[in-house]
Amino acid sequence: MERLIIEVPAELFSPAETAMREGVFDPGPFTCGPDEFVACAPFSYHVVLTNVGGAILVTGTVSGEARTSCARCLDDMTVPISGEVEGYFIIEGEGQAPEDMDEDEFDVLPESHEIDLETLLMAAILVDLPLVPLCDEDCKGICAQCGASLNEGACDCAAVVEEDDCVGKNNPFAALKDLSFD
């Protein structure tokens, strides 16, 4: 798929001018840390480019839904995503690096006047993802022994373990309970 590029229109090189761009963007499958996500459908975006004097500021939103697996029970789940788009592109020869920004918070507008919107949208999406995706805050996860989803009720493992501990056949001390000291 072609990268999503927007060209800064000529009229935007006057201070206080703005331009709006909106459309859809398909992030496809993507990863964030150990988690894999797949977009349910193309995401929609809406951005505004503003000449803030010496620089082009890009702000807006990108939203959609992605599928992933619950970190506890591994069930499929859908995550709604609504990211804040933010970009700051210095116009060479006109603006300077803002003192209150770190170097990774701004770019220099390339000579082609093209902005890689895809990079900005992906960054906004990644920041909005949950640190640990959970199908439900109270998700009980899966049984470490049999792998059954505990959200659908308790499995039999807990009961079996208890029996073994006390009077199970495999317990070497099981016979002791029949001893009498008369």
Binding site for Zn ion (CB under 5 A): 70, 72-73, 135, 139, 143, 145-146, 148, 155, 157
In the DSSP assignment, the letter for residue 175 is G
Min CB(68)–Zn ion separation in Å: 11
Compute how many other C-beta atoms are within 10 angstroms of the C-beta atom of residue 135: 20
Q: How many CA atoms lie within 13 A of 84 on its CB side?
A: 1
Find the radius of gyration of the CA atoms of the chain: 28
Min CB(29)–Zn ion separation in Å: 21
Instruction: Return the number of the residue (65 or 118) whose C-beta is nearest Zn ion.
Output: 65
Instruction: Return the number of the residue (98 or 141) whose C-beta is nearest Zn ion.
Output: 141
How does strand 107-108 pair with strand 76-90? parallel
Q: How far is CA 39 from CA 61, 115, 133, in A?
A: 16, 23, 15
Min CB(138)–Zn ion separation in Å: 9
Min CB(128)–Zn ion separation in Å: 20
